[in-house]
Amino acid sequence: MKYYIIAGEASGDLHGSNLMKALFEADKTADIRFWGGDLMQNVGGTLVSHFKERAFMGFFEVIKNLTKVLNFIKFCKEDIATFQPDVIIFIDNSGFNLRIAKWSKQQGFRTNYYISPQVWASRAARVEDIKRDIDNMFVILPFEKEFYRKFDYEVTFVGHPLIDAIADRNKVDIWDFRNQNNLDERPIIAILPGSRKQEITKMLAVMLSIIDDFKDYQFVIAGAPSQDPEFYSSFIADENVYFVENCTYDLLSVSHAAMVTSGTATLETALFKVPEVVCYKTSWISYQIGKRLVKLKYISLVNLILDKEVVTELIQETFNTKRLTKELTSILKGPIREAQFEAYHELETKLGGADRSNVLSKHFLQSYCRLFHPLGL
């Protein structure tokens, strides 16, 4: 079959690459054309556009580059029309993908969405557009299935791809990691401060304010792929603060605990079985707007999936030096640390276990092989 896959950022590239591996394995005739990144390109198929070419973040940056964005949309439609795929697979990246999906459905293409837009967090009215434009929605969070059911839209839960991504990585030896990054024998506390400059600066201002109270540990900042290492130089002046780049998973695999900015990183940290404190702070006006748009009990995926507070969330005013010191201390040893470990095992079970990409590829093939291969693949 002919597949057209559209992924829009680094995480989509990772999940798209795993999906492509599974598709090539299951469908020996697969012809894949895609928008993605280096990881997808390394698997095979034909790269149409790299996500770095259209990495516009935030409302104002999109407006500033509106002509480029519209040209990408126009070109994508033309490319799909020329390729005439049997199946289109959209991966996350809702701002771009939902626009293409609307057009694709109108043109009679079979549309599939992998990794749902977070309509459960805000702008739930978009569900009606999804019901109209997406033939099959494949979700990765267990509560999403029940959410969509409220709108009379049946979706397929296929488990979370991070489990595969973590299981398939090359394991690192803890002493090799320490030697390569000039670390000593003290336990490591990982710092994951986010990916955007303004966010990183806000988070590190508080995260690094507590290090003098933890002399028996060493702190290591995980650099974001989107930022130049030089940007972090001002934050690592202290002798007990270190920096690593392009190896967040390696860092988590050898860490004793972590301070993590809210986002996918909170889930990644949990899947590495690292006790964590979740932190988040933005401008006052952004927070006030967010509070009114986002109707959620928790901000971390760990707590949302388990529907209970497993990891402490320090948000806005509660994210301060005194409170962060207290919460970090509580997960270094003792009952709160042990409780997080127990909850992490429950979390992994809820996410569906390993081999998620193969499960997803089988769903695609079961859905479409009867249409294109009446006698089966």
Burial readout 16-44 (b: 16 or more C-beta within 10 A, e: otherwise): bbbbbbbbbebbeebebbbbbbebbbebe
Long-range pairs for 48-55 at CB < 8 Å and ≥24 separation?
48/76, 48/79, 49/75, 49/76, 51/7, 51/8, 51/9, 51/10, 51/12, 51/13, 54/8, 54/96, 55/9, 55/226
pLDDT digits (tens, 9 = 90+) for 158-212: 888 888 888 888 899 999 999 999 999 999 999 999 887 888 998 999 999 999 9
pLDDT of residue 376: 38
- Average pLDDT score over residue span 118-146: 90
- Predicted pLDDT at 94: 86
**Which residues face 26 on adjacent strands?**
none
Domain 2-159+354-372 in CATH 3.40.50.2000? The answer is yes
Residue 18 confidence class, pLDDT cut points 50, 70, 90 = confident
Mean pLDDT of 229-246: 88
If you average pLDDT over residues 207-225, what whole number do you get?
94
Q: DSSP string covering 10-71, please?
A: HHHHHHHHHHHHHHHHH-TT-EEEEEE-HHHHHH-SEEEEEGGGG---SHHHHHHTHHHHHH
Q: Following DSSP, what letter does each residue of 306-366 receive, concatenated?
A: HTS--S-EEEGGG-SHHHHHHHHHHHHSSHHHHHHHHHHHHHHHHTT-S-HHHHHHHHHHH
Question: Which pLDDT score is estimated for 374?
Answer: 39
The pLDDT value given to residue 236: 83
Burial class (CB in 10 A: 0-12, 13-18, 19+), 13: buried
Q: For position 370, what pLDDT does the model report? A: 46
Q: Looking at the predicted structure, is the pLDDT value of residue 144 above 60?
A: yes
Instruction: Give 301's Cβ-side CA count (13 Å radius).
Output: 23
Which has the closest alpha carbon to 257: 189, 204, 324, 343? 189
**Per residue in 289-308, pLDDT tens?**
666 556 678 889 999 999 99
CATH 3.40.50.2000 boundaries in the chain: 2-159+354-372, 167-350
| Structure tokens, 156 | 């397929």
> Is the pLDDT reported for residue 134 higher than 70?
yes
Please answer whether residues 260 and 278 qualify as being in contact, where contact means their C-beta atoms are separated by less than 8 angstroms. Answer: yes
Q: What percent of the chain has pLDDT over 70?
A: 86
* Section 241-251 average pLDDT: 94
What is the C-alpha to C-alpha distance for residues 78 and 14, in angstroms, rounded to an integer? 26
pLDDT tens digit sequence for 327-348: 999 999 999 999 999 999 999 9
- In the prediction, which pLDDT does 306 show? 95
Residue 282 binned pLDDT confidence (cut-offs 50, 70, 90): confident
Tell me the mean pLDDT in the region 206-224: 95
Q: Rounded to a whole number, what is the distance in angstroms from the first to the last CA of the chain?
A: 10
CATH superfamily of 167-350: Glycogen Phosphorylase B; (3.40.50.2000)
The pLDDT tens digits of the residues spanning 96-125 come to 999 999 999 999 999 999 999 888 877 788
